[in-house]
């Protein structure tokens, strides 16, 4: 009797969580299939006919293929930022966990500050303007690197602490120069945490809305998240297109999730627990 | 080997060169630290980006005098408290469910976590439509049950709470996986001992799982509290701080003041947020970590 009641409770909990977490995504997909008139009813209904292709074509070609430009911009931003983050973060994490100097406490303090302090928006814009970097992809890349370094370093430092020092000492004895030791011995050993970092930071930077909104204005520079925001007003009466756009920009994180689920979860929880 | 040690000792060719810090330090120093320091000065000015005239604490006085700015301050704390509280409770419950022997556990874990990776703006727009007072799917569903759903985002007393709910929906997956990691790490011996002593499931939860997942709780609270205080994109996507100023937070006020060209006031908002985080988060983490130490 008791076990049947708990089984029933479990089934209900399961069903509720299933509905809560599936319905919003089902809604996005259904809306992307509808035509304009039906989509604007905003209801949760089966599409009367498949209009996905028409919607896709309209969304992609709107405003001079803005979405394509945005995907290119977002890809460049993500790839370059993440490459720099991995390189700079691994270098700091390596020295920070291997060598105890009087600079370490300062570095630790700065890392924690970086995780907590909200970036000072307008002074950053002022600085970027002074450096001729405001509204440029290069400026945006440097901003993403600066803002995401602390988390990257934390992940690297925790992982490097688990690699035996014997390995670097063997390389030192073999007469390796510091650069060689780092790039040829240490960096390849860090591959698992590098994958984690790449995945976690790519998703974060690809999804970033606030920073491009402030530091990368202008249609030519639009990133993927900003197209959504721009289309929100433009497509006010065409919800099918708005939701087709949402579905499109959800695909990259979905792919990453399908292939790297384990690394993402490991990275987010490890970084969280150690940080 | 001798030469290796010698060269390490005189420090010129350490295998762990200090200059490895340099590239990161330059980027971080220039693009994060400098603006942060500059913000303390510019928050005391009337500022056009080209000219700054010093006006003392006037921006801050305005911040605490204008009712809608004060509202933003209160909302920010409320939002952070509500979202982190709900993420702790729901995250723990989901983690308990997802570490027990249930059907489709792997699929469900994936479903709960996936929203963490989805665009916040996309989620915001989706829920804005689902929460439409008359046509939205949520209120349609409620009316099937005979309940008249509220105006989730149009009722000023409810708007902030509705956005917080969506924040929980999107972020609870992270809390859940942190709790799962914590629960899985608890040695099975404890449950074994409790079983021999005839402990019930509820006692297991109360005396074993809950206290031993305290580090996870500390992490979830810290992360979601900081995230909640800084939140901007979800609020902007769903209500833009409205109706009126009902769901404004400091971060949305910073953006609005920036848009209106009040750069000094906007920067003062930044400093207020900075102080708020320091004042609230530092003691909270200190308390959480101290208790952890006593375990």
pLDDT of residue B288: 83
**Domain boundaries, given as residue ranges, for chain B:** 60-294
Which residues of chain A neighbour B28 with C-beta distances below 8 Å?
110, 114, 146, 149
Question: Helix/strand/coil (H, E, C) string of chain B?
Answer: CHHHHHHHHCCCCCCCCHHHHHHHHHHHHHHHHHHHHHHHHHCCEEECCCCEEECCCHHHHHHHHCHHHHHHHHHHHHHHHHHHHHHHHHHHHHHHHHHCCCCCHHHHHHHHHHHHHCCHHHHHHHHHHHCCCCCCHHHHHHHHCCCCCCCCCCCCCCHHHHHHHHHHHHHHHHHHHHHHHHHHCCCHHHHHHHHHCCCCHHHHHHHHHHHHCHHHHHHHHHHHHHHHHHCCHHHHHHCCCCCCCCCCCHHHHHHHHHHCCCHHHHHHHHHHHHHHHHHHHHHHHHHHHHHHHHC
Which residues of chain A neighbour B127 with C-beta distances below 8 Å?
24
Percent of chain B with pLDDT over 70: 94
Which residues of chain B neighbour A92 with C-beta distances below 8 Å?
20-21, 24
Inter-chain contact B270–A121, Cβ cutoff 8 Å?
yes
Q: Is residue B6 very low, low, confident or very high in pLDDT (cuts 50, 70, 90)?
A: very low
Ranking A242-256, B42-56, B151-165 by mean pLDDT, the lowest is B42-56
Domain B60-294 has CATH 3.90.1300.10: no
Rg (CA), chain B: 24
Ranking A180-184, A195-199, B21-25, B163-167 by mean pLDDT, the lowest is A180-184
**Domain boundaries, given as residue ranges, for chain A:** 61-274
Domain A61-274 has CATH 1.10.3720.10: yes
- Average pLDDT for residues A131-143, to the nearest whole number? 94
ipTM of this complex > 0.85?
Answer: yes
Cis peptide before B243 (omega within 30 of 0): yes
Inter-chain contact A145–B31, Cβ cutoff 8 Å?
yes
Which residues of chain A neighbour B271 with C-beta distances below 8 Å?
120
On whether any CB of chain A is under 8 Å from the CB of B288, the answer is no
pLDDT > 60? residue B9: no
pLDDT of residue B118: 93
| Residue B151 distance to chain A (closest CA, Å) | 15
pLDDT of residue B63: 85
| Residue B293 distance to chain A (closest CA, Å) | 15
pLDDT of residue A236: 67
pLDDT > 50? residue A25: yes
pLDDT > 60? residue B10: no
Nearest CB to B110 within list A123, A172, A261: A261
pLDDT > 50? residue B8: no
pLDDT, tens digit (0-9, with 9 covering 90-100), for B259-295: 998 999 999 999 999 999 999 988 888 888 775 544 4
Most confident of A42-46, B30-34, B221-225: B30-34
Inter-chain contact A24–B123, Cβ cutoff 8 Å?
yes
pLDDT, tens digit (0-9, with 9 covering 90-100), for B220-256: 998 899 999 999 999 999 999 879 889 999 999 999 9
- When the pLDDT of each residue in chain A is averaged and rounded to a whole number, the result is 87
- Average pLDDT for residues A185-213, to the nearest whole number? 91
pLDDT of residue A272: 54
Who's near B233: CB < 8 A, 6+ residues apart? A209, A210, B120, B121, B124
pLDDT > 80? residue A242: yes
Q: What is the DSSP letter of A272?
A: H
């Amino acid at each position: 009797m008791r076990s049947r009641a708990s089984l029933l409770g479990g089934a209900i909990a399961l069903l509720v969580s299933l509905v809560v977490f599936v319905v919003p995504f089902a809604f996005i997909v259904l809306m992307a299939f509808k035509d304009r008139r039906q989509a604007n009813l905003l209801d949760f209904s089966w599409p009367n006919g498949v209009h996905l292709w028409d919607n896709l074509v309209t969304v992609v070609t709107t405003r001079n293929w803005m979405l394509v430009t945005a995907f290119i911009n977002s890809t460049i931003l993500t790839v370059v930022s993440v490459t720099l983050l991995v390189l700079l973060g691994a270098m700091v994490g390596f020295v920070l966990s291997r060598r105890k100097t009087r600079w370490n406490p300062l570095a630790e303090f700065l890392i924690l500050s970086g995780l907590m302090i909200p970036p000072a928006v307008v002074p950053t814009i002022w600085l970027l303007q002074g450096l001729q970097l405001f509204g440029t992809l290069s400026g945006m890349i440097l901003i993403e690197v600066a803002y995401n370094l602390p988390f990257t370093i934390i992940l690297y430092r925790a992982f490097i602490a688990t690699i035996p020092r014997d390995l670097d000492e063997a390389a030192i004895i073999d007469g390796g120069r510091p650069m060689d030791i780092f790039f040829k011995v240490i960096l390849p050993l860090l591959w698992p945490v590098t994958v984690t970092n790449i995945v976690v930071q790519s998703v974060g930077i690809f999804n970033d809305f606030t920073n491009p909104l402030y530091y990368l204005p202008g249609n030519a520079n639009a990133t993927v998240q900003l197209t959504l925001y721009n289309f929100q007003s433009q497509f006010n009466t065409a919800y099918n297109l708005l939701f087709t756009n949402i579905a499109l920009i959800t695909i990259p994180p979905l792919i990453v999730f399908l292939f790297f689920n384990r690394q993402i979860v490991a990275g987010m929880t490890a970084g969280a627990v150690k940080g | 080997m001798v030469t290796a040690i010698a060269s390490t000792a005189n420090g010129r060719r350490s295998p762990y060169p200090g200059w490895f810090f340099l590239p990161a330090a330059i980027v971080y120093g220039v693009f994060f630290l400098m603006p942060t320091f500059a913000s303390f000065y510019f928050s005391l000015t009337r500022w056009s980006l080209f000219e700054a005239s010093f006006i003392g604490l006037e921006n801050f006085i305005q911040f605490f005098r204008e009712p809608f700015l004060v509202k933003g301050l209160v909302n920010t704390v409320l939002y952070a408290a509500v979202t982190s509280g709900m993420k702790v409770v729901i995250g723990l419950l989901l983690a308990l469910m997802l570490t027990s022997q249930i059907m489709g556990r792997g699929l469900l874990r994936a479903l709960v976590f996936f929203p963490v990776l989805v665009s916040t703006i996309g989620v915001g727009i989706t829920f804005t439509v689902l929460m439409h007072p008359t046509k939205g799917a949520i209120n349609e569903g409620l009316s099937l049950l005979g309940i008249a759903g509220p105006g989730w985002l149009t009722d000023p007393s409810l708007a902030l709470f509705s956005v917080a709910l969506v924040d929980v929906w999107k972020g609870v997956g992270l809390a859940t996986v942190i709790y799962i990691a914590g629960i899985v790490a608890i040695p099975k011996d404890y449950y074994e001992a409790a079983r021999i002593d005839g402990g019930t499931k509820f006692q297991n939860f109360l005396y074993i799982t809950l206290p031993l997942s305290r580090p996870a709780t500390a992490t979830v609270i810290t992360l979601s509290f900081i995230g909640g205080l800084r939140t901007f994109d979800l609020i902007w996507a769903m209500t833009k701080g409205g109706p009126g100023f009902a769901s404004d937070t400091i971060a949305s006020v910073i953006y609005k003041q920036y848009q209106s060209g009040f750069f000094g006031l906007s920067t003062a908002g930044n400093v207020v947020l900075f102080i708020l985080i320091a004042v609230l988060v530092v003691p909270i983490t200190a308390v959480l970590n101290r208790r952890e130490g006593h375990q």
